[in-house]
Every structure is written in structure tokens, then in C-alpha cells.
């Protein structure tokens, strides 16, 4: 953990005068602080070096979205025009703090509203100038690379290698829409402005560090998987909201189950990597990574 005085000194790289710093609830992939400045509220976000490239790519996506009117936790550039600052503890970014609260998963209207926010983001990202970064190539090279390199239980590896070709075949055969996606849109990534009862142009979708190019359905599948413990209705309401904003997705929804398996496969890789690297941040449970890997295996193999 970076000392508070070191963090405050580092934030002088940005053109703001920081009045206070408050640690925010811990995430699985980063450490964050609320930075109150004379110019407004920001989020200071620190990630490990291994995640720095993804953070920078995601900041570029958020900057693109913000320039087109979507509230997304856009990055602020340093005095030198940089998106991040390198520290001994990792890589630091400063993001605009978005107001609002996550959708209540028991309230259909709020969950549908979050789905519409994702659809609006996808509509803008059709025009994002994806470059040669491997994360913007489909099929995802990192899946097979991870299965070759990351230590995983044999039964998990066997299941993953079995379903990945089937997922690729489904996407190709049914011509599922491919574009830049969020890739990890959980409920905490949506901030509904106002009282949550009606759409608001300030509704936000934040945390773009995992952005990829892939099937649009993968984002819908990710929300369904992330909220699965709350029951299947949350994923269904979210998809309804998305389809109301982007009705052309309708014929593709019959293939959503295969993208759900793709998300469980990604979870298997992610939890296996955390176990291999000894990372425990993000949960108070000492068995969170093992539990996540077991759930991922069950999700990949369900119905097979």
C-alpha cells in the first residue's frame, strides 16, 4: 500500500490541488482513493504493473466515450499530457468521480436502465479506432495462451479446451456482432444518477480497464454471471433493457448461453492466475479464489 503522503505528492503531477484523500472500498484489481480537489472529485486508481497496459487501454476507451457525451469515469491527463504515472507500487491514474448509485438488483427498472447504458456505450464504441493491441483482436489470443501457461487443475483445463472451439464456432456460424466491449460490466460499474426511477443522461458506466474487442453478447453474459448469486432475473432484466436500446441484438440472444460459458471460462483463467500469483485482494474470504474457480468450472460445464 502506498503511504498517503507519497500518494498526495504523486498527485501533484495533475493540474489539481488535492484537499483530501479517502480510501475507497477495495476492488479485485486495484486500490482506489477519493480525491477531493478545488476543481471537483476524482478517483485515484493504482494497479499492479502486470495490469498497467490494460489500464492505459481502458483509459483511452473512456476518454473516447467521454468526448462523445457518455459519463464513464473519464481519465484526467497530467500536466505533461500523460494518462498515468509510474510508481514503485504500480501505475496510478486519476479519473473523474461519477455521481450516482449502482442499480438495485431487486428493482427491474433500475437493472433495465443499466442495460440501456451499456447499449449506448456499445453504440458509441462501434467507432472506436482499435489499434494493433492484441486485446482488440478477435478471437482472443490470450485464452489459448493462458491455457498453455497458467497452472490450472487438469479437469478445468480439459473443460476449457473443449468449450472454447465451440464458442468460436457459435460466434462465427451465427455472425454475432463483434466490437469493442467493456468485458466486465458488473452492477458496481453502473452509477444511476438521480433517484434511479427514470433514465438520465448522466447515468454512467465506469471501470474500463478490461476493455476488449469481442462479441457484444459477452458483456450481457458477464453481467448475468456476475449477478448470478442474486438469481437469473437480474441478467434477464439487464438484457431486456439492452435490447430496448439496441433492438438489432434480438436475433442473437438465442446464442447468449454460449457467451455465458465464455465468461465462466474467463473466470477460470482469472482465478487460476490469482492462485498462481498469490493474489488475495478483493475478498475477505481466504478461499475466494478457490471458490471462484470451482464456480467457473461448474458454469463452463453446465448442461454439457
Domain boundary among 96, 121, 140: 96
The answer to whether residue 103 sits within a structural domain is no
How many structural domains compose the chain? Answer: 2
Domain match, 196 and 61 both: no
Q: Is the pLDDT assigned to residue 195 strictly greater than 70? A: no
Is pTM beyond 0.85 here?
yes
Domain match, 193 and 85 both: no
Q: What is the CATH number of the domain that holds 177?
A: 3.90.1200.10
- The domain in which residue 86 lies consists of 4-96
The answer to whether residue 101 sits within a structural domain is no
What is the reported pLDDT for 28? 74
The answer to whether residue 207 sits within a structural domain is yes
Domain match, 195 and 290 both: yes
Q: Of 17-21, 24-28, 279-283, which gets the smallest average pLDDT?
A: 24-28
The answer to whether residue 222 sits within a structural domain is yes
The answer to whether residue 102 sits within a structural domain is no
| pLDDT band at 197; cut points 50, 70, 90 | low
CB 205 within 8 A of CB 70: yes
Q: What angle do CA 142, 223, 232 make, to 5 degrees?
A: 130
Domain match, 39 and 185 both: no
Listed in sequence order, the DSSP H helices in the chain are: 4-10, 52-67, 108-125, 141-149, 154-173, 216-226, 232-245, 256-277, 288-301
Q: Cell 504500480 belongs to which residue?
A: 90
Instruction: Check the CA dihedral 170-174-175-180 and report its sign.
Output: negative
Q: How far apart are CA 157 and CA 94, in angstroms?
A: 38
The answer to whether residue 199 sits within a structural domain is yes
Q: Is the pLDDT assigned to residue 97 strictly greater than 70? A: yes
Least Cα distance to 119 among 244, 206, 221, 256 occurs for 244
Q: Cell 453504440 belongs to which residue?
A: 123
Q: What is the mean pLDDT of residues 286-298?
A: 96
Q: How far apart are CA 114 and CA 239, in angstroms?
A: 9
Domain match, 69 and 116 both: no
Written as one string, the DSSP assignment of 170-225 is HHHHTT--EEEE-S---GGGEEB-TTSSS--TT-EE---TT-EEEEHHHHHHHHHH
Domain match, 216 and 149 both: yes
Domain match, 63 and 190 both: no
Query: Which residues are registered as beta bridge partners of 20?
Result: 36
What is the reported pLDDT for 26? 63
What is the reported pLDDT for 133? 80
Q: Is the pLDDT assigned to residue 199 strictly greater than 70? A: no
Domain match, 208 and 282 both: yes
Q: What angle do CA 101, 14, 46 make, to 5 degrees?
A: 55
Domain match, 20 and 146 both: no
Q: What is the mean pLDDT of residues 225-243?
A: 97
Q: Is the pLDDT assigned to residue 255 strictly greater than 70? A: yes
Q: Is the pLDDT assigned to residue 137 strictly greater than 60? A: yes
Amino acid at each position: 500500500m502506498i503511504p498517503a503522503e507519497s500518494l498526495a505528492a504523486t498527485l501533484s503531477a495533475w493540474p489539481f490541488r488535492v484537499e483530501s484523500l479517502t480510501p475507497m472500498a477495495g476492488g479485485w484489481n486495484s486500490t482506489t482513493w477519493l480525491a477531493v480537489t478545488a476543481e471537483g472529485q476524482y478517483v485515484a486508481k493504482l494497479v499492479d504493473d502486470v495490469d498497467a497496459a490494460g489500464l492505459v487501454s481502458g483509459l483511452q476507451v473512456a476518454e473516447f466515450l467521454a468526448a462523445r457525451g457518455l459519463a464513464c469515469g473519464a481519465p484526467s491527463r497530467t500536466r505533461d499530457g500523460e494518462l498515468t504515472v509510474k510508481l514503485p507500487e504500480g501505475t496510478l491514474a486519476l479519473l473523474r468521480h461519477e455521481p450516482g448509485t449502482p442499480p438495485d438488483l431487486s428493482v427491474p427498472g433500475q437493472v433495465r436502465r443499466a442495460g440501456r447504458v451499456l447499449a449506448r456505450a456499445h453504440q458509441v464504441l462501434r467507432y472506436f479506432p482499435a489499434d494493433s493491441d492484441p486485446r482488440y483482436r478477435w478471437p482472443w489470443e490470450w485464452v489459448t495462451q493462458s491455457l498453455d501457461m497458467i497452472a490450472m487443475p487438469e479437469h478445468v483445463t480439459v473443460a476449457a479446451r473443449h468449450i472454447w472451439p465451440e464458442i468460436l464456432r457459435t460466434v462465427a456460424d451465427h455472425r454475432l456482432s463483434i466490437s469493442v466491449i467493456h468485458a466486465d460490466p458488473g452492477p458496481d460499474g453502473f452509477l444511476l444518477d438521480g433517484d434511479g426511477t427514470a433514465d438520465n443522461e448522466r447515468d454512467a458506466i465506469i471501470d474500463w480497464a478490461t476493455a476488449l474487442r469481442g462479441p457484444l453478447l459477452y458483456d450481457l453474459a458477464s453481467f448475468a454471471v456476475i449477478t448470478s448469486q442474486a438469481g437469473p432475473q437480474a441478467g434477464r432484466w439487464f438484457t431486456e433493457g439492452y435490447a430496448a436500446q439496441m433492438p438489432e441484438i434480438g436475433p442473437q440472444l438465442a446464442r447468449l448461453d454460449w457467451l455465458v460459458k465464455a465468461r465462466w471460462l474467463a473466470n477460470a483463467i482469472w482465478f487460476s492466475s490469482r492462485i498462481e500469483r498469490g493474489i488475495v485482494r478483493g475478498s475477505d474470504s481466504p478461499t475466494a479464489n478457490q471458490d471462484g474457480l470451482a464456480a467457473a468450472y461448474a458454469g463452463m460445464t453446465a448442461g454439457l
